[in-house]
Chains A and B, each alone.
Chain A
Amino acid sequence: MSELEHDDVVSAYLDGELTPVERAAFEARLAADADARAELDDVAEVRTLVRGLPAPSMPPGLIDELLATGTAEDAVAETGDAAPVLDLDTARTRRSGRARFAAYAGAAAAAVALVVAVAMPAQTSAKPALATDVRVHQAGAAASGDPVSGLAPLATPLRFGR
């Protein structure tokens, strides 16, 4: 199989990457082969679209920010006490870390709310039992005339069970 039978010669032709001999042979093939011409048109269209893309806009202030960071790194080299320039992993970890922190904080808040919601009914049901115990104890102290028990009604043991 000759070199020109590979279709990658089409892209190489468009990019000016063929030798003069290869180019002449491919142009002779184009003249005789409608499929080769169609292939050339297809690939040329894609190549033109990508090459015609406008330059993407940089985030505002990106270069100034990086230059300032670089200046800070120079200061580190001279004084040894400033924040170092971040490498790619560190920068990404810090950025995603902020998002993750927000996510974890939300999850933690939800967990606390769940615990409180579960615990609250038990506390609510304990209140009548405690109040009842205090009232019974005070009534007993008053009836018995025991001055010590009457002074310490809150020493009544708490009972959460039934």
Chain B
Amino acid sequence: MTSDRVPTWEEVARDHGQFLYSVAYRLTGNVDDARDLVQEALLRVRRGLATYEPGSLEGWLARIVTNVFLDDMRRKKRRPVQALPDEPDLVVPPAVAADVAADRAGLSTEIQAAIAALPEEFRVPVVLCDVADQSYEDIARMLDVPIGTVRSRLHRGRKLLRGELVARGVVTAGGVA
């Protein structure tokens, strides 16, 4: 989306919350982390609106939510999360989005699981290109890597994803299963 006017924070949250959540959910693969990502991204949007220059708003939002995701991944690598006890009655069950609950056995769940199985360096360009619909140039700028790197990681990511989908029986060598 391109606009000459700087939107208010409330407008971003209401009009683009679903976009932020879609990117966040495809990156993280679960409702709780996606929710946290959206919350943090909107906080950064609030702080950053003063310096936002009208242009591709969704490109700007995709960059913010990706940065939040990558910051979080780096933090988790530095400080691994402690596992909770195994007793099922003591652990809060993860929340499940309505479409996931309704479509648990469906294609989209399998595809999401396959995306989540990708290493982060391939998952991010795939999500930015095929979910956030960003150009190679924009993705390269967001990730601070050359366009050639985006191109190769994206292609490798799609091939790895195909392998995951074949393993899950979603596609076969001859097409969709």
Contacts and interface: CB of A to CB of B under 8 A. Distances in A.
B176 interface: yes
Nearest to B156: A8
A50 B87 contact: no
Given A8-B156, A70-B13, A46 B31 contact: no
Report the contact-size class of chain A (Cβ under 8 Å from the partner).
Answer: 35 or more
Q: Is the interface of B mostly helix, strand, loop or mixed?
A: helix
B17 A50 contact: no
B170 interface: yes
B58 to A, nearest CB: 13
Interface in B112-145: 112, 115, 126, 129-131, 135-136
A100 B151 contact: no
A45 B171 contact: yes
Contacts of A15: 129, 136, 154
Report the contact-size class of chain B (Cβ under 8 Å from the partner).
Answer: 35 or more
Q: Shortest 4 CB-CB distances between A and B: which pairs?
A: A8-B155, A11-B155, A88-B40, A50-B130
A82 interface: no
A105 to B, nearest CB: 9
Contact of A88 (B21, B68, B97, B115): B68
Interface stretch (A26-34, A55-63, A112-120, A145-153): A55-63
B108 interface: yes
Contact of B151 (A8, A46, A107): A8
B63 to A, nearest CB: 17
A14 B158 CA distance: 12
B43 A58 contact: no
Nearest to B102: A57
Given A7-B155, A49-B165, A56-B21, A99 B92 contact: yes
Contacts of A76: none
B40 to A, nearest CB: 4
